[in-house]
Amino acid sequence: MSLPFFKPSKQIPRSPPTKSNSTPRKDKRTREESVSPEGSQPNKTLRSDEMAMLQQADLDKIRAMLSEVFDEKLQVLDKKCDDATSVAMSKIDFMRREKNIIISGLPEDNNEKITDQIKKAEGVFTKLGLKNIGIDDISRLGKDKKANGNPRPLLVKLVRKMDKRAIMSEKKKLGKEKIYINDDVSPAVRANEKKLRDKFREQKVLDKDYRMQIKRGELFIWKNKAVVKHFILDEATGDVELATNT
C-alpha cells in the first residue's frame, strides 16, 4: 500500500567512467620520480664538477698574476737592498781609512822592525815641518819584499784626522824627492789611480815640467801653476780619456 503523499524520485543516469591511459599508482610513481632528488643527481654532479674546474682555473690565474707581481717587487727590493748595502759598506770602508796615509818610496831594510818604520815616517813628517804626529799603527803593505828590490809602501794609521790634513797640505814640501804621500783607499780605487799615474808618466815624457794631481778619481796635469790637461777614467771601458771640458 503506497502512501498518497510520497512520490518516488526519478533516478538520474550516471555517465560511464572514462578510461585513463595510466593507472593512479603509475601516475603517482611517475610524479615521485620527477621530483625525486635521485633522478636529478647526475645533472647536479656534473654542474658541480664544472664549477669546481672553473673556480680552480680562476685561482690558478690569480696565483700566476700574484706570483709575477711579487717576483717583480722582490727583484726591485733586492736591487735596492744590494745598492743600500754597497753604499753602507763603502761608507764603512771610508771611515776605516779616513785617518790613514800611505807613504811610498821609503827604503825597506831586511828584518825591519816597527820601531824602524816609525822613525822613517817621523823623518818624513819632520821634512814637512810637522811635529807630534800621533801614530796609531804602522806596517808595510804586502807580505814580502818585492822581488825587484823596490820598497813596499808604508801604511800609517794616524790618531787624529787633523794630523792627516796637515800632512796632506804640506806634502808638496817634499819637492822632487821620490817620496810620495797618498790617501789610503780601497783596492778598486787604488787600481784606478794607478791607471791615472801611468797616464801621467806618458805625459811626463812630453814635458818634464808637468806636475800631477789626482783628485776624486780624476787626473789634473799642472804647469806654471795652471791646469793644462785633465783626464778622467771611463768606468765602462776602464780607459783613461782626455776630459771634454779641458
178 and 102 in a common domain:
yes
In a domain, 238, yes or no: yes
pLDDT tens for 158-208 read: 999 999 999 999 999 998 888 999 999 888 888 888 899 999 999 999 998
pLDDT over 70 (residue 221): yes
Q: What is the pLDDT of residues 14-36, one digit of tens each?
A: 555 555 555 555 555 555 555 55
Looking at the structure, tell me whether residues 102 and 48 fall in a common domain.
no
Neighbour-count burial of 153, counting CB atoms closer than 10 A to its CB (0-12 exposed, 13-18 middle, 19+ buried): buried
In this structure, is residue 39 part of a structural domain? no
Query: Where does a domain end: 96, 115, 136?
Result: 96
For 120, the domain range is 98-184
Q: Which residues contact 217 (CB under 8 A, 6 or more apart)?
A: 189, 192, 193, 196, 232, 233
Residues 170 and 210 in one domain: no
Average pLDDT, the chain: 82
**In this structure, is residue 157 part of a structural domain?**
yes
Same domain, 147 and 102: yes
Q: Are residues 118 and 176 in the same domain?
A: yes
Nearest to 179, CA basis, from 202, 204, 156: 156
Q: What is the pLDDT of residue 15?
A: 57
Note the pLDDT of residue 129.
Answer: 95
Statement to judge: residues 241 and 207 lie in one domain: yes
**87, 116: one domain:** no
- Mean pLDDT to the nearest integer, 89-117: 91
Pick the last residue of a domain from 160, 184, 208. 184
- 54 and 73 fall within a common domain: yes
What is the domain count for the chain?
3
Claim to verify: residue 102 and residue 180 sit in the same structural domain? yes
The whole-number pLDDT of residue 1 equals: 47
21, part of any domain: no
Q: Tell me the mean pLDDT in the region 47-64.
A: 81
Task: Reply yes or no on whether the pLDDT at 125 is more than 60.
Answer: yes
| 208/220 same-domain check | yes
Looking at the domain assignment, is residue 29 inside a domain?
no
Q: How far apart are CA 46 and CA 67, in angstroms?
A: 32
Is the pLDDT reported for residue 124 higher than 90? yes
State how far the Cα of 179 lies from the Cα of 31, in Å rounded to an integer.
Answer: 114
Q: How far apart are CA 138 and CA 108, in angstroms?
A: 13
pLDDT, average across residues 227-231: 93
- Specify whether 134 is located in the same domain as 202: no
